[in-house]
Structure 1
């Protein structure tokens, strides 16, 4: 059994009572002593407010206002320089920096100007708060949480008092320069989010190597990557060929030309083809479609022979090859463009014309 006489803060005499105990029920306070803690601590209060130069000296306040405005102006100038550097500096220009070595000049210019733009806004806001905004401490007593008309009116009054305390209405120079700095800072964000996406495709996705002829004749369909021509008899029921146009040369044509011209060739049961146009653009059930998904341009290369569905592995867009390759599942919104094919005199499959519509995902200029 434990001995209650050994509990801290008590001096027991074996009777279960503590000598020197004070009845707290009557509101008495314990006096501080080495072996006792006070029941209540005195309110230390708030330290006296230390006035700053700007609080009492209008000339100092005006000087601080000019300093804050200068920082916001620095941010504005840096933002403008960011935009100038974005358009004026070649993205392949290289400069050599100490320790770092060779870096792209554009990256350095954008990083420095964007950093100065943010620094000007941040330092200006801090200097404004430290020198001009009210810094008097206030005590807010705890109260039950409720929402009443009086509370709403009080909240509005606090906001108005805060606006008055910030002196933003009395300091128009700060108000206008802060607005200019924050407004211009949207330029780098806009350039990065919109401008860096690259130019609109224009007519680039509407044309491909299938639109041109080679040596005055229609281009044959050749296997990728072997480059061998395909006869109609080579395409058996259910077989799949990854196809490129004859004459493609990766050393002469850019990679995007190969991508745009990539085609999937499949033989279907003609009785299962639902579209008359699809049947007329193929031959004996052999049809050719662009491999570029109309969602975000991933390669569509997974063919399910039983359902005749094409699946994009990136986001699971699914196309029905028996019905103009229309979308039956997934985020894609357009069917895959079909390539019109026929057979030449030697029995090889050729492209009669290019795709009837642009390949790849939708874009602003697309109808």
Structure 2
């Protein structure tokens, strides 16, 4: 029998062009499959048994509590494990105990929050499927009101206000997890304490030519010359040389005393020899350019310019403050420091007054 013949025997009301029992949209006549609609909703055990709902609530709370404990363990790892402690873990091999503990505890903290939220949604929040017709992108006032009503209904069905145990433990877990980020920021490096305020210069330490490694005499500094110096005892092969020279680097110039404008600078100099930090006060670049006629030094990085005849003050560029001066004198024919710099060298930092 042909298709036409078969259709002729089918009652008119059962043709696929009609609406389904679920009042779905009309199906095109050339589509032989009607919209089956949504299946009947099956209630979960938590929906009909309050004891089961309580058990699920406790499980969710346990996940959030586990996250809180893992976050506390994450922070405690910084105290318990030294940074250089190595342990053997099969099959990972030899790894840092601190890194392993940080990874495990932070992973557990984040996983527990996610697992708790998923279990909450799967067992306690409403899971009834609702079909809604598509609508234009621009919502009508009635639709907006419906969305707000649906949101309020969803909030009510989630039990967020009624199930205080879940709510409070979730807030606790979410409040503690950000502390991991604070601890990670703290781990960017050791606290500077007072290391930024002091250098290797002390009373009685001789000035050594950085090029020749010989102690400097006043006659070694010619008018108009620029000489770089370091503290006596700081050797190039020192393991901490780069860290120390970054603060101790010194430059010396000889200016006619009558051309020195700053009174303190004149008192801290010797026969016109002035000593200033070589580290720019902008971002810490080494200063290396000197103009003999103007007594200006120039930082090659961002062109900050300082006047060495007027207290090392900034006359151009982004530097925030003057170059620190080192008080020097002469003993037994050699230049030496009277004290450390009166202020921290290099760029500004938060704790700087």
Is there any run of 5+ residues in structure 1 with no aligned partner, and where?
Answer: 1-28, 33-37, 214-218
CA deviation vs aligned residue, 1:98-146 (integer Å, no higher than 9, x gap): 2332222111111111111111111111111222222334426424637
CA deviation vs aligned residue, 1:195-232 (integer Å, no higher than 9, x gap): 54422423x3333332232xxxxx22112253112233
- Whole-angstrom CA distance in 2 between matches of 1:114 and 1:140: 43
CA deviation vs aligned residue, 1:67-109 (integer Å, no higher than 9, x gap): 1111111111111111211112111211112233222211111
The match for 2:182 among 170, 190, 194 is: 190
**SS, match of residue 274 in structure 2:** strand
Partner of 2:297: 309
Q: What's the TM-score, normalizing by structure 2?
A: 0.77
- Whole-angstrom CA distance in 1 between matches of 2:173 and 2:41: 33
1:76 aligns with 2:59: no
The match for 2:157 among 135, 143, 165 is: 165
Deviation at 1:181, TM superposition (A): 0.9
Deviation at 1:284, TM superposition (A): 4.7
1:145 aligns with 2:138: yes
- Whole-angstrom CA distance in 1 between matches of 2:221 and 2:133: 83
| 8 Å Cα contact 1:268/1:285 also seen in 2 | yes
Q: How do 1:16-27 and structure 2 match up within 5 A?
A: none
Partner of 1:18: none
CA deviation vs aligned residue, 1:43-81 (integer Å, no higher than 9, x gap): 665454443332333222222111111111111111111
Q: How do 1:1-367 and structure 2 match up within 5 A?
A: 31-32=29-30, 45-138=37-130, 139=132, 141-143=134-136, 145=138, 156-194=148-186, 196-202=188-194, 204-213=195-204, 219-249=205-235, 254-255=240-241, 256-268=243-255, 273-295=260-282, 298-305=284-291, 308-311=296-299, 313=301, 316=302, 318-322=304-308, 323-327=310-314, 328-330=316-318, 332-346=319-333, 348-367=334-353
| 8 Å Cα contact 1:250/1:258 also seen in 2 | no
| 8 Å Cα contact 1:72/1:177 also seen in 2 | yes
- Whole-angstrom CA distance in 2 between matches of 1:113 and 1:185: 11
Deviation at 1:251, TM superposition (A): 7.4
Root mean square deviation of aligned Cα: 3.4
- Whole-angstrom CA distance in 2 between matches of 1:269 and 1:95: 64
Compared CA separation, residues 212 and 286, structure 1 to 2 (3 A): closer
Deviation at 1:356, TM superposition (A): 0.7
Q: What's the TM-score, normalizing by structure 1?
A: 0.74
- Whole-angstrom CA distance in 2 between matches of 1:141 and 1:195: 51
